[in-house]
Structure 1
Amino acid sequence: MRRYSRITGTGSSLPPRRLTNADLVAELAQRGIETSDEWIVERTGIRARHFADPEVGSSDLGLEAARNALEAAGVQPQDIDLIIVATSTPDMVFPSTACILQNKLGANGCPAFDVQAVCSGFVYALSVADAMIQSGAASRALVVGAEVFSRILDFNDRTTCVLFGDGAGAVVLEASDTPGILSSDLHADGKHVGILCVPGNVSGGQVLGDPLLKMDGQAVFKLAVGVLEKAAHAALAKAGLTESDIDWLIPHQANIRIMQGTARKLKLSMDKVVVTVDQHGNTSAASIPLALDHAVRNGQVKPGQTVLLEGVGGGFTWGAVLLKM
């Protein structure tokens, strides 16, 4: 009998500190940077985001999301035999945030590692966990997306600092006799490295380059809509399904205009798109699991429904996962 994997629990976490556009505009004004709520909403759809306190790391946000997912799945930390964390803002250079989270959770002993695909990270991590479960290498995986992007923002650049927020989302993925993860489609193209990056690193105790986020917004927008459509159609084709079979689209929550453009290309009403970007901003690898947990807990996404997850991010990376809840 073929072995599959299914999501059995979801969870999320947001830092308590919530900044509306008005809050952020006031803070930026103190730096001499002019912007407005209207400017931000018109271009991005974002109205608020959450920032973590200085002492809070990605593993801390991931821990709360993981505990919520475990509770929803009805399993204990020691039941987990694989941990994958998708993050671009790790607690340390090494060890992995997954190992740090593993110890805080009390799930020591199982394989634990990070996946770095920026905003596509959760889609990548979920695909890896699914493959490991299908192969028999694992039976119950914890897959987490966790970010503290506020640490790498340039608050003198109004075109990027208004976009991002902090948060975490998690799922428990378990072996099953019936398909849950139906298909996935992953890609990357390194020739686009320069359009979205943090071009810095650490050497000899010094920061080399620039450790703050840089983005060519127009280039990212043009690339994103096209590649997301192709990944979606590829995932559907692999599963033998069509656009009409999609109950919910949960895209990476980067920009409402990218999300609207993707929905149009897939002939989907925005009523079928889960939108949290207005309240969370772009939380990178955390955005898809955050949105999924939000939709599950408010009754939008229901058991048995077909859900398409899509992400696109620096690298340039992109991908889609089609699943049945």
Structure 2
Amino acid sequence: MDRVIASYLPTSLYSLMSNQFSQEDLNDLEEIRLRVGHPAQLIFTQRHSFVDGFTFQATDAETLLARISDFSIYRLEEELKNGYITVRGGHRIGISGQVTVEGSKVQAITHVSSFNIRLASEHRGAARQLLPYLVDRHVHNTLLIGPPKSGKTTVLRDAIRLISDGTDQINPSRVSLIDERSEIAASFQGIPQHDVGQMTDVMSDCPKADGMMMMVRSMSPEVLAVDEIGRHEDVDSLMEAVYTGVQLLCSVHGFSLADIEKRPQLRPLIEQAVFDRYIILSHSPKPGSISAVYNRNREPITTALRGQAYEMDRSPSHSVNVHMGRT
């Protein structure tokens, strides 16, 4: 487990976790959920478990909040209003509790009773299977579609890295990333904690619509990357950006292309064929798997890809099943 996260946890909890779970288990850990009055819950890739012999107390919550804020909670007031804190290493800690509202706006979250510690992780090579569809001498305007836990953010992050650094298929490109929730680059004090490429500029904790226009005007990107589009203002900014000649790399929640076609906010992007590629991601057989690829006319290019491997997987490549003309 990352040393930063270990230093935040109650000493007794960390000791029990080390005794009850193997190092292999802890390497597979994705989230630690702590709720006052309840045992600690560990979320792994394919399962979850509770830590025996430990109950998270109100005093533990106070200590944890002090530790993650470096004992200066006022320094993180703005982040706390969003319901999460990004700490060194790119880890993101969500919080919930009693909310103070003033004029219909959240002013603070007080009496914090729950924490969701999401451990940051990178999977270099997670987007390599996308490259034949993503680039062809230049980057195609691409929309990644997938449900929760399908690996959208992981794949998008690695695609940004590959495009920024360049590959055998494409020269390095200037990428501007608008990271509204600081999930892709996981910036800490403005500095990306994840590798998003040497030619990538990041605007973090900024509304997507505003950030896109700021980046187009100030950073002259060749590729504009943004996660989880969906609001009318996001679409307006994307439409304006694409007409400046910048290429788009975006993601959106959805189980299929049909899901996206039904969303009225996204209709202008669909009707005007802004995207050259629609790539559907799935969590099966593992997060980041491609289940289908469509062209700008929403015609299937290929479906049911298998045998995808990350860069660290040195095993022989397997066959890829291609089904033409099927949805």
TM over 0.5: no
* TM-score normalised per structure 1: 0.27
* TM-score normalised per structure 2: 0.27
**Per residue, is there more helix in 1 or in 2?**
1
Bigger relative contact order, structure 1 or 2 (CA pairs below 8 A, ≥6 apart): 1
